[in-house]
Amino acid sequence: MGFWKRLFGQKPEAPPPLPPPPPEPQHLGSEDEVFLNALVADLANGRRRGEVGSPDVLRRIDAVWSSGHERLAIEWMEKLLSVPEVPPAATVPLRAQLVERYEQRGELDTAIPHLEGLIAEELHALRAHYLLAEHARRRGDHERALRHYEAVLGRDVDYPNVRARVERLRQIVGRAAPVAGETIAAGDVAGVQAGARYRLVRELGRGATGVVYLARDAELERDVAVKLLHPHLAGIERADALTKFFHEARVMASLRHPNVVAVLDLDEASRRIVMELAAGGTLRDVLRDRGPRPLRRAIERHGQVLSALAAAHRRGIVHCDLKPANLMFRRDVDLPGVEVMLGDFGVAHLPDAAGHTGGAAQRAEAVGTLAYMSPEQRRGELTPAADVYASAVVLYENLTARTPWSREVLMAGTRRAEDFLLPPEVLARSPIADEVQDHLLRIGDPDPSRRMSTVEALASSQRLRARLIAAGETR
């Protein structure tokens, strides 16, 4: 301060204000805190156990995470998942979210038990296998990484970067050259042998149990489809998978039905099944490339599917995975006289040793594809009625090129008969639209006791086809 200012008693200038401290993360809001605490208390008392993975719970935990309390959000999820006797199906969405949060924080080591649980969930298996493969690769466990990467390709052949990693890992572990019966991960498989008789040409598709190739039968000079068991299912420790693979193939071969893919040859030593070739592709391909099917054609295909199911159900077989990807055509679908064929009995529920036919509900692990599973199938109750329900979803998709529900409804697991109400533009196409709609609602009833049986559904579809022909409905 200058001399004159001190002399006349002026006060010194105040120092500039300090900058405000950085804002601290907002703590959990009272509403969310009360809700989550109440939920944990109710769960401990045996109440509200179906809410663990509900959208409301996920939203509240997301709010915790977004407010900056990442560790607190993870603790809430772990706490909810640790409550005993909560139905496993209710925890799946929460478990999947927890895995993603651990991955975001670079803490995948902690998520391994959760990932291993998600492998069995169709909706999350692909992502779970990929993350397990990535974790194993980073730790240098090449065999384990390869096994999980191959499982990824078994579900999505075009998953980013996975093909290259499979090829590189196969070279590292000394399995670069494919042999008979082994999954071929490389893009160019032309000329690879699957035994002396069959020459593999190219890959057609992958499923949960194996890979299907276009092949040339050298003895009979015809094109066939060769299915090779995934190598990770072929070890001694997975002998049950190998046995089931060929048991199901023999059952499929025994059906001998025009609407079931024919099995031509089996070779357990090469882990190989040879089937007739579906040169016309799958119904999924047709719906993707050509859109909804005309009503009469959709009803005809529906009747063919039900006829194949009726033959399987008489043998006590529940397919469990009826969907457009498992419905195939011998030739181009728009050529006259081409019928649909049911294939891929890889997760079918077979008769037990006593030969029970599956008429009564049997408890089993919930398997199949979520969008086509009936409410009781999601609970692990398997009867022929589950296949009838799936046929309703497929018929709806035939007519609209989409399934009846949104992703949110699908995840919630709610099923209502009105989900199968057809759009007005579809109903406007036919003079018997009301009859078609009634048939669809009856085979898609969420209550299996009110659902048509396979035989009733087949008879109803045949009546619809006759009415369409009489009404002059075009193909």
What is the Cα 139 distance to its own chain's centre? 29
Instruction: Give the bridge partners for 222, in sequence order.
Output: 217
> Which of 452, 441, 413, 264 has the alpha carbon at shortest distance from 343?
264
CB under 8 Å to 354, separation ≥6 — which residues?
none
Exposure b/e, 146-159, CB count within 10 A at least 16 = b: bbbbbbbbbbebeb
Number of H helices, E strands in the chain: 18, 9
56 part of the active site: no
Give the Cα separation of 370 and 103 in Å (integer).
Answer: 25
The residue type found at 81 is: L
Candidate list 109, 158, 321, 434, residue with the active-site label: 321
Distance CA 407, CA 341 (A): 28
Residue 386's Cβ-count burial label (10 Å; 0-12, 13-18, 19+) is buried
Three-state SS at 252: helix
Residues 208/209/214/219 CA torsion (nearest 10 deg) = -170
Active site residues: 321
